[in-house]
């Protein structure tokens, strides 16, 4: 399809990423490995490896495997609170990875400076405008804003509100919008507001090239938007970060664990830090159980509300084509052409 409007509308994003499309597939633990990442980048999008929970040697291998499968740019996502975070930084520096994403918490100025000094571009997630401004001062190269509709760990604010707050106030660096994006038509709206591009996760889970278990994909195909719910925090003494997932027995396992840990915390059997680590370990293990082993009952089915737009298993090429056609058509309508 010949594109008339999109190349201009997302030029800042495509220039930054070095891609045909300013569409990123966000890192998804256990899901975003070399095959999916390379497929996204080969088809004109931008894949991001989920490095956060890997041992450092495996991360280095995944980077080199991805480089064998694509010559196009891709990113590496690191989680600042992961036990091996410091080793991960050493890996991305040694491997000269051109795009490094920091997720989890806000990275330190030192981490940003170290990775930038090695020649990488640093991309961060910012939950509030003031933190975004601080990160920009510290030299980050781009921002992702991710709304509450997204799959996985989520903040409290909707994508539509974050988009207005950030896109109307930040010009210094490209801003990519994530959370709840299922169609090209909505991509066009965020681009019109000033987004450089977008990041999707949930829609790419059902990609043919995605290694997730067929039962995991099937659960996404069956689910409606309202099935993907965030977990609740039972008590502020244990500040459990909400995780959005398709509700199943795994959700209830998480709730039971939270109650047990709260009791242990009250009786002094466990520290708050240890309890937080146990909660995060739960998610990593439960997600693996669902994605790798196909246990869709007790495993975690992390998914965004955009799961409503996952209708069947499709090749990455087809998903991107649909998104691009939808966005181009919407921009043409905005321009009054049809
Ligand atoms: C199964 C799953 C796992 C995820 N794991 C991570 C992760 O490890 N690191 C991260 O930064 N974001 C993670 N995310 C968030 C995605 O990168 C992306 O920002 C999000 O899916 C976008 O919203 P959407 O789900 O509505 O498309 C995950 C999302 C899903 C659905």
Q: Given a cut of 90, is residue 1 above it in pLDDT? A: no
Instruction: State pLDDT tens for residues 168-183.
Output: 999 999 999 999 999 9
What's the pTM? 0.97
Expressed in angstroms and rounded, the spacing between residue 203 Cα and the centre of ligand 1 is: 10
Instruction: State pLDDT tens for residues 134-160.
Output: 999 999 999 999 999 999 999 999 999
Return mean pLDDT, the chain: 97
Instruction: Return the closest-CA partner of residue 57 out of 91, 97, 95, 98.
Output: 91
Expressed in angstroms and rounded, the spacing between residue 200 Cα and the centre of ligand 1 is: 8
Instruction: Return the closest-CA partner of residue 36 out of 182, 216, 22, 28.
Output: 28
Element (H, E) at 332: helix 316-334
Q: Given a cut of 90, is residue 6 above it in pLDDT? A: yes
Expressed in angstroms and rounded, the spacing between residue 163 Cα and the centre of ligand 1 is: 18
Is residue 52 very low, low, confident or very high in pLDDT (cuts 50, 70, 90)? confident
Instruction: State pLDDT tens for residues 237-280.
Output: 999 999 999 999 999 999 999 999 999 999 999 999 999 999 99
Element (H, E) at 174: none
Indicate which atom in ligand 1 lies nearest the CA of residue 179. Answer: 23
Residue in the structure block whose two tokens are 């790798």: 292
Residues 168 and 272: their CA atoms lie apart, in Å, by: 38
Q: How many CA atoms lie within 13 A of 235 on its CB side?
A: 13
Does 199 contact ligand 1 (Cβ within 6 A)?
Answer: yes
Does 159 contact ligand 1 (Cβ within 6 A)?
Answer: no
Domains of the chain plus CATH, in order, are 6-211+312-333 (3.20.20.70), 224-302 (no CATH)
Does 299 contact ligand 1 (Cβ within 6 A)?
Answer: no
What pLDDT score does 338 carry?
74
Does 47 contact ligand 1 (Cβ within 6 A)?
Answer: no
Tokens matching residue 297: 């009952």
Report CA dihedral (252, 257, 260, 265) to the nearest 10 degrees: -140
Q: Are strands 301-302 and 243-246 parallel, antiparallel or unpaired?
A: antiparallel
């Amino acid at each position: 399809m010949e594109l008339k409007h999109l190349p201009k509308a997302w030029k800042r994003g495509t220039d930054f990423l070095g891609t045909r499309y300013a569409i990123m597939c966000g890192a998804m633990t256990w899901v975003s490995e070399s095959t999916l990442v390379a497929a996204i980048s080969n088809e004109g999008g931008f894949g991001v490896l989920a490095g956060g929970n890997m041992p450092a040697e495996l991360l280095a291998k995944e980077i080199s495997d991805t480089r064998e499968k694509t010559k196009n740019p891709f990113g590496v996502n690191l989680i600042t609170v992961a036990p091996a975070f410091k080793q991960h930084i050493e890996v991305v520096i040694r491997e000269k990875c051109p795009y490094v994403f920091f997720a989890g918490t806000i990275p330190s100025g030192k981490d940003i400076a170290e990775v930038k000094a090695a020649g990488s571009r640093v991309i961060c997630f910012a939950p509030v405008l003031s933190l975004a401004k601080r990160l920009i001062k510290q030299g980050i190269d781009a921002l992702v804003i991710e709304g509450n509709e997204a799959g996985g760990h989520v903040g409290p604010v909707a994508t539509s509100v974050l988009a207005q707050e950030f896109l109307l106030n930040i010009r210094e660096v490209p801003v990519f919008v994530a959370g709840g994006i299922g169609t090209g038509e909505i991509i066009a709206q965020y681009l019109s507001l000033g987004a450089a591009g977008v990041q999707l996760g949930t829609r790419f889970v059902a990609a043919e090239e995605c290694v997730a278990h067929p039962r995991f994909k099937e659960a996404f195909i069956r689910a409606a938007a309202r099935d993907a719910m965030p977990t609740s925090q039972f008590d502020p003494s244990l500040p459990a970060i909400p995780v959005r997932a398709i509700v199943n027995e795994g959700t209830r396992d998480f709730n039971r664990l939270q109650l047990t840990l709260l009791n242990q915390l009250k009786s002094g059997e466990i520290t708050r830090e240890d309890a937080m680590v146990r909660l995060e370990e739960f998610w990593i293990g439960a997600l693996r159980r669902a994605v790798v082993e196909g246990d869709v009952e007790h495993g975690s089915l992390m998914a965004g509300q955009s799961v409503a737009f996952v209708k069947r298993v499709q090749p990455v090429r087809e998903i991107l084509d649909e998104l691009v056609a939808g966005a181009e058509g919407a921009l043409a309508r905005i321009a009054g052409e049809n």
